[in-house]
Structure formats: structure tokens, C-alpha cells
């Protein structure tokens, strides 16, 4: 699971460098995210622009990451591609996460 | 769509093989075209196949046979395995998991997605194993 993390002001930006978050890698995604968010503080922003496909296991892993951040820290998403966006909309998870159209839009917004 | 030839695929019941089979399938020229339909088809098949891996073959991976055939309403998908039966010999209703309350669900979305994106879903259990048929409509 290739995740690239960098800190920008008060935001931990994680770029997912995989084209799928699916049942074959959902656990690795969750484990790598757990390591990354433990080393930082504040807002966490996941850039999903490279992710072409996400299934219910992948969705569950994203929810799990939000839950491990606790109520004090925000998890936001950017760059949902059409199939990923469908899964979020159908499950109404788009109402649970703050979702930005793309990375520049997400970064313009102060954390 | 006039091409009614079938696409048949056999795969082993692991999540890695599901991923590989989906990428082989989605690369088929016959499935080229409408992006929205392709996305719905891939979501449905990923959920059905991963459910088989997880629940029909929980210990020893077995074989999964997938058959796709175009019909007037959409793509008919037939998915067969020789694993454990579905609980109660019925396909789950896939009710929407509740998003209210502090404890957000991390699972239970698979069957909800399947039911949301397909029609004519039928489950049959016989001596051969499980057979699920469904249609992913051309348009939704």
C-alpha cells in the first residue's frame, strides 16, 4: 500500500498512490494510515485522485481511519473519482465526510 | 446492445484473484463504452465476489465461475461457487446501515450496494453449490 504523507501547515496530507482500495488491500490501508496519523496532529486530508475504484471494504477502512482519529481531529477527503464517488453517495457516506472536489480546493480551506 | 455472446471467467476464491479477474473483465472490449454502467458493474461484481471469498470460502478458497451475457435490460451476471450456503438460504436484504449515532458502521455496505445497483436478483442453492443471478441495468 503506497501512501505518501506530508505536512502542510496544520494539515497532514496523505496521497493514495494506488488505483484501488479494495478487499485485497483494505487492511494494509488502515494499518498504514494508523501509523501516519499517529505521527501527526490536527486535520487529516486524504487525496484520492489516483484511486479509480473503492469497494465496501475500502469504504469500511476509510470509516475506521476516521474513528481512530477520534472526535477532536477531522478526516477530510479530496479528489473522488466517479466510481469512488458513487460508493460514497449510494451509502450516504458523502454526508459523513467533508469531501472536497480536488486538492487545491481542500488546501485553500484553512484547517 | 446486440452482442449477446457470453463472457465466462473462472477464478479462485481469494481477494487477490477477485482483483485480477475484475481487471481482466473490465478490459474486455465488449464492456467498453458507457463509463457509468462500467462503474456500476464493477462495484456489483466486486461486492458479490468478495462476499463469496469471505463467507462461502472462509477457510479454504474454492472456485468461482462468472458468466456475463447482455440482455435488453442490462448485463445478466451469473455467479456460481461451491462454498457454504448463504445464511437462511436467502440472499441478504442489504438494508442501509444506519449512519446516525456516534458509532459509524465499518461494514454492512456490500449487500446494500449490490441491491441498490442491480435488479432481478435471484439466489439458488442446490447440490452443486450457490448460484446468484442478477442484472446490472444499462441505465440507472
CATH (domain of B121): 3.30.565.10
pLDDT recorded at residue B87 = 95
Structural domain for B53, as ranges = 7-137
B1 inside domain: no
With contact defined as beta carbons under 8 Å apart, do A83 and A53 qualify?
yes
Q: What is the pLDDT of residues A54-98, one digit of tens each?
A: 999 999 999 999 999 998 898 999 999 999 999 999 999 999 999
Whether A56 sits inside 8 A of B99 (CB atoms) is: no
Instruction: Give the total number of structural domains in chain B.
Output: 1
Whether A22 sits inside 8 A of B99 (CB atoms) is: no
Q: Residue A44 and residue A75: Cα distance in Å, rounded?
A: 5
pLDDT at B108 over 90: no
Residues 6+ apart with CB under 8 A from B36: A82, B139, B140
pLDDT recorded at residue A63 = 96
Count of CB atoms situated within 10 Å of the CB of A101: 10
Confidence of residue B4 (pLDDT cuts 50, 70, 90): low
List CB contacts (< 8 A) between A56 and chain B: 47, 50, 107, 109-110, 113
pLDDT at B104 over 90: no
Strands (E) across chain A are located at 3-8, 11-16, 20-21, 43-47, 53-54, 75-78, 98-100
Domains and CATH numbers, chain A: 3-108 (3.30.750.24)
pLDDT recorded at residue B33 = 85
Q: Residue B57 and residue B60: Cα distance in Å, rounded?
A: 6
A20 touches chain B (CB under 8 A): yes
B26 inside domain: yes
Q: What is the pLDDT of residues B35-44, one digit of tens each?
A: 999 999 999 9
Q: Residue B15 and residue A48: Cα distance in Å, rounded?
A: 21
Strand order in the sheet with B7-12: B7-12, B63-70, B74-81, B129-137, B119-126
Strand partners, B80: B65, B131
Q: What is the pLDDT of residues B13-63, one digit of tens each?
A: 999 999 999 999 999 998 988 999 999 999 999 999 999 999 999 999 999
How far from chain centre, in Å, is Cα B129? 16
Amino acid at each position: 500500500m503506497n501512501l505518501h504523507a506530508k505536512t502542510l501547515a496544520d494539515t497532514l496530507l496523505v496521497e493514495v498512490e494506488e488505483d484501488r482500495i479494495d478487499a485485497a488491500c483494505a487492511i494494509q490501508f488502515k494499518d498504514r494510515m494508523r501509523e501516519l496519523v499517529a505521527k501527526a496532529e490536527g486535520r487529516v486530508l486524504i487525496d484520492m485522485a489516483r484511486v479509480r475504484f473503492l469497494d465496501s471494504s475500502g469504504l469500511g477502512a476509510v470509516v475506521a481511519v476516521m474513528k481512530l482519529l477520534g472526535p477532536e481531529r477531522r478526516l477530510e477527503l479530496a479528489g473522488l473519482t466517479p466510481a469512488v464517488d458513487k460508493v460514497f453517495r449510494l451509502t450516504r457516506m458523502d454526508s459523513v465526510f467533508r469531501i472536497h472536489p480536488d486538492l487545491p480546493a481542500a488546501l485553500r480551506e484553512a484547517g | 446492445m446486440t452482442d449477446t455472446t457470453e463472457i465466462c471467467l473462472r477464478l479462485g476464491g481469494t481477494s487477490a484473484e477477485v482483483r485480477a479477474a475484475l481487471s481482466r473483465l473490465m478490459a474486455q472490449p465488449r464492456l467498453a463504452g458507457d463509463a457509468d454502467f462500467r462503474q456500476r458493474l464493477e462495484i456489483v461484481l466486486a461486492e458479490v465476489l468478495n462476499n463469496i471469498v469471505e463467507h462461502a470460502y472462509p477457510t479454504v478458497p474454492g472456485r468461482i465461475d462468472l458468466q456475463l451475457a447482455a440482455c435488453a435490460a442490462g448485463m445478466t451476471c451469473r455467479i456460481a461457487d461451491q462454498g457454504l450456503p448463504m445464511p437462511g438460504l436467502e440472499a441478504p436484504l442489504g438494508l442501509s446501515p444506519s449512519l446516525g449515532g456516534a458509532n459509524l458502521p465499518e461494514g454492512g455496505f456490500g449487500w446494500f450496494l449490490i441491491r441498490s445497483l442491480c435488479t432481478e436478483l435471484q439466489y439458488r442453492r442446490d447440490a452443486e453449490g450457490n448460484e446468484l443471478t442478477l442484472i446490472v441495468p444499462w441505465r440507472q
